[in-house]
Structure 1
């Protein structure tokens, strides 16, 4: 997706607030569907065009927590596994069960993954074993039942479907043969992560070297763990299946257990989800942190990239699934068309309407503007006009179907803003969802500024953002569209000091 590893910008694209318990797993299909698995015993399917729930959803068949969901490479099957000890294969189009598997112990199954060639699926269980299943014949091929001394919570196939790596809550990593079904461990690392491994994922590309004597294949695998770290390992294998697994890189930045990690389908990005309530996106070749995605109010349990690497879904104990649009900072500058704080010109006299005089349709349009348009029909059908909006409280919002606490807080906050400035309607980007004062955010990237500078137009920007704007030959103000007579940038030291104090106060 990008070669020079520019910083990324993650903007909230959509929020799913349907699940009634923890969201434990999310997965995109190659044909435009999103699966979400929850502690409420259900798996739900969504169309990524508009994030409406598909007719086959929800998939109901598990008796307890659903821990994991994963699509087959062609997107026709979905596998789910649960505390009930079952691994279920579903027909995605019909929403019907295709097969149900169980480890012989019938203990909780924590993780499942399809092989890239679609022939097999592997599952890891609390019984300390891996099971390899044939998708076509729906039979058990092999049970890998040696060496792990704790729950198997992570597993992944190499991109050529030849090997499987597994990780346990003890912290060890082990590699197994997947091509021939041999049950012997091929190589291992006893201390992959201190306190326990949580997930693993192979990069989509391999490197093949031929020395003339033998051929050697190199794989790259990412792992996450209870030690707050994400690691990249390099695994090499020759024709005799002699394997070597070496740690290459360590990613530091999370402030709590990293629950999940995954590569983007193109292999250029690595995402990690953590107990610290963030998702972080990294350059997997340099360990450079490209973006910190914040929005969940509780632990982030999982994340997944869409097939084009442009969307990132995250699930959390806050019961929400958030879908983020991923763009580069350069994209933000290139696509920047309207000042984020500029007044939006409305038809006729609408821009000068007081909040109390809004019609129900005005309220509905306002909800769309603040990116909560999923509630528009409920507000309009209940005749919530401007007067009713001014008297809105938390209980009324719940009655209207706004169950997500973050959404209720945002609506109440936006109402207050509209009441204070009744003659204008502001774009959603002018309102910081996490409560950060708007003046601390760069008008271009909408991120907290680290090096604020003032341009000739009198506005303050993040230095790299406005410099990027200028370097692209744009000689007008991004805020006023008035020509910039000079490209000179003046450090805004006062604002930088205020931002520093804000950070030290612990408010974010």
Structure 2
């Protein structure tokens, strides 16, 4: 094995090693999830060198420089206010979802008008329309981090794979017998996963368009799906009150997480896939130990259905959004301490996400606003106003300096 070069990953902090083995170019990640601006660099370098044979003494000065760059990035303060940059009247019928590409230069919108549109974030111009589905385009995704392909899942029971650069169709995936409502690429962009109201999830080969396997085991609709960052595990969340974990290579179920007493509304891995967080209509959030398949902590307090849940990128904090018009944020490093309540919305809060730096939370609500909050104090720092109907989707770009909001008023708003 021979190390070719280092690549820097700011969010969450890490260094990617690109190396050659047997004539093939491969990568592995050194995750530095606990790095802070005040961490002792010498001890970090010492630990990395001890564990990683690819890093020779000659490479240590370069490694030290990169860790320093990560610390400098972590020390930057992100507390600027966002201003409305563009209003995009995206579709003739209501939107279903919105998603950024890796660096936020483009985003996509799905709609009841049976299309997905690709937009240039900077100019607000439509690049092209992806046409071909025969019903609502509900689930949409870029193949992050590459962002050269787009997946769309439809109520017409098919998924499609498109070129993000030309708008041309690569494959149509047929096999589900009911609406497709969730969709995601694996981290290496070799597989596309789809989840359906037919109680099944499927994994597809991106290159050939062939079905690799069916994840069969739920007894009700599959409404959520996520690959682990390592790509070896997949989680599926279902209205049957359970979450299942699967081996993505064999399609075999490895765990079934059973404890909720009502439908699951959202489920997510933390960065290293050691934890899963679930949100449920039973008003509870649960954090699960993946290795043991058991509940580590049940987080109560919400007075109505919990609709969304999100980890910050390093996996130190967890946030929830609820139909009780509030959000919550917990420190989950051992104590599961409630850091703050997010109070101020006047309608149900359907989405919550952290900025890449982990300093702000963004929520979307039926009260027609999206709001920004300080993660430590729960203080509202800004309300993003102007939509004339419920906001159902919100997202940060990779740098955290651009926000997109999608609303039932048929518009997207870009905030910078």
| Structure-2 residue corresponding to 1:168 | 238
Query: Shift of residue 178 of structure 1?
Result: 3.5
**The one of 23, 28, 42 aligned to 2:115:** 42
- Measured after TM superposition, the shift of residue 235 of structure 1 is 4.2
Is the helix fraction higher in 1 or 2?
1
- Separation of aligned partners in 1, 2:269 and 2:80: 22
Q: Secondary structure at the match of 2:83?
A: strand
Spell out the pairing of 1:67-466 with structure 2 (5 A cutoff): 67-73=138-144, 74-105=146-177, 107-147=178-218, 149-170=219-240, 172-191=241-260, 194=262, 196-203=263-270, 205-206=271-272, 218-219=274-275, 221=277, 231=285, 234-238=287-291, 242-246=292-296, 247=298, 250=320, 251=328, 253=343, 256-265=347-356, 269-282=360-373, 291-325=382-416
Structure 1 residues 418-456: Cα deviation after superposition (integer angstroms, max 9, x where no partner)? xxxxxxxxxxxxxxxxxxxxxxxxxxxxxxxxxxxxxxx
* Contact persistence 2:257–2:293 (CA under 8 A): no
Question: In structure 1, how many angstroms separate the alpha carbons of the residues matched to 2:230 and 2:246?
Answer: 12
- Which residue is equivalent to 1:13? 85
- Partner Cα separation in structure 2 for residue 230 and residue 12 of structure 1: 35
Closer/same/farther in 2, CA of residues 280 and 230 from structure 1, 3 Å limit: farther
**Residue number in structure 1 paired with 2:95:** 23
Kept after mapping to 1: 8 A contact 2:96/2:110: yes
- Report if aligned partners of 2:226, 2:268 keep a CA contact under 8 Å in 1: yes
Q: For residues 466-505 of structure 1, what are the structure 2 equivalents within 5 Å?
A: none
Structure 2 distance, partners of 1:88, 1:3, is 42
Q: Specify every segment of 5 or more residues in structure 1 that has no aligned partner in the other structure, as ranges.
A: 207-216, 326-508
In structure 2, C-alpha distance between the alignment counterparts of 1:166 and 1:125, rounded to whole Å: 10
| Structure 2 CA distance for partners of 1:185 and 1:128, relative to 1, 3 Å | farther
Q: 1:40 Cα shift?
A: 1.2
Q: Distance in 1 between matches of 2:351 and 2:193?
A: 18
Q: Whole-Å Cα distance in 1 between the matches of residues 141 and 226 of structure 2?
A: 11
Taking a change above 3 Å as real, the CA distance of residues 111 and 307 of structure 1, as seen in their structure-2 partners, is: same
Q: Any stretches of 5+ residues in structure 2 without a counterpart?
A: 1-72, 300-317, 321-327, 329-341
RMSD (Å), alpha carbons: 3.1
How much has 1:45 moved relative to structure 2? Answer: 0.9
Contact 1:198 1:258 in 2 (8 A): no
- Higher mean displacement: 253-262 or 315-324: 253-262
Q: Distance in 2 between matches of 1:286 and 1:142?
A: 45
**Equivalent residue number for residue 449 of structure 1:** none
Q: Give the Cα–Cα distance (whole angstroms) in 1 for the partners of residues 109 and 249 of structure 2.
A: 33
> Per the alignment, in what secondary structure is the counterpart of residue 274 of structure 2?
strand
1:277-308, Cα deviation, whole Å (9 max, x unpaired): 33344566786665443332212121222121
- Report the TM-score, using the length of structure 2 for normalisation: 0.63
Greater Cα offset, 21-30 or 295-304? 295-304
Contact 2:99-2:108 at 8 Å conserved across structures: yes
Deviation at 1:225, TM superposition (A): 5.6
How far apart in 1 are the matches of 2:284 and 2:123? 33
> What is the SS of the residue equivalent to 1:159?
coil
Pair member with larger Rg: 1
CA distance in 2: counterparts of 1:89 and 1:305, whole angstroms: 24
Q: Using the TM superposition, give the Cα deviation of residue 83 of structure 1 relative to its aligned residue in structure 2, in angstroms.
A: 0.8
Which whole-Å CA distance do the structure 1 matches of 2:238 and 2:346 have between them? 21
What is the number of residues matched between the two proteins? 301
Q: Secondary structure at the match of 1:84?
A: coil
Name the CA distance, whole Å, in 2 between partners of 1:117 and 1:91: 16
1:30 is paired with a residue whose SS is coil
The separation in 1 between residues aligned to 2:139 and 2:245, in whole angstroms, is: 21
Deviations along 1:368-425, one digit per CA (max 9) or x if unpaired, are: xxxxxxxxxxxxxxxxxxxxxxxxxxxxxxxxxxxxxxxxxxxxxxxxxxxxxxxxxx
C-alpha distance in 2, partners of 1:218/1:285?
Answer: 24
Q: Deviations over 1:152-206 (max 9, x none)?
A: 2222222222322222345x241312443343250314427x5x44444445x33
Give the CA deviation at 1:89. Answer: 0.6
Match of 1:334 in 2: none
Whether the aligned pair in 1 keeps the contact of 2:98 and 2:107 (CA below 8 Å) is yes
| Structure 1 pair 77–47 and aligned structure 2 pair: CA distance change class (3 A) | same
On the 8 A contact 1:82/1:109 being kept in 2, the answer is: yes
The answer as to whether partners of 1:27 and 1:36 remain within 8 angstroms in 2 is: yes
**86-95 or 289-298, which moves further after superposition?**
289-298
SS in 2 for 1:10: coil
Residue 335 of structure 1 corresponds to none
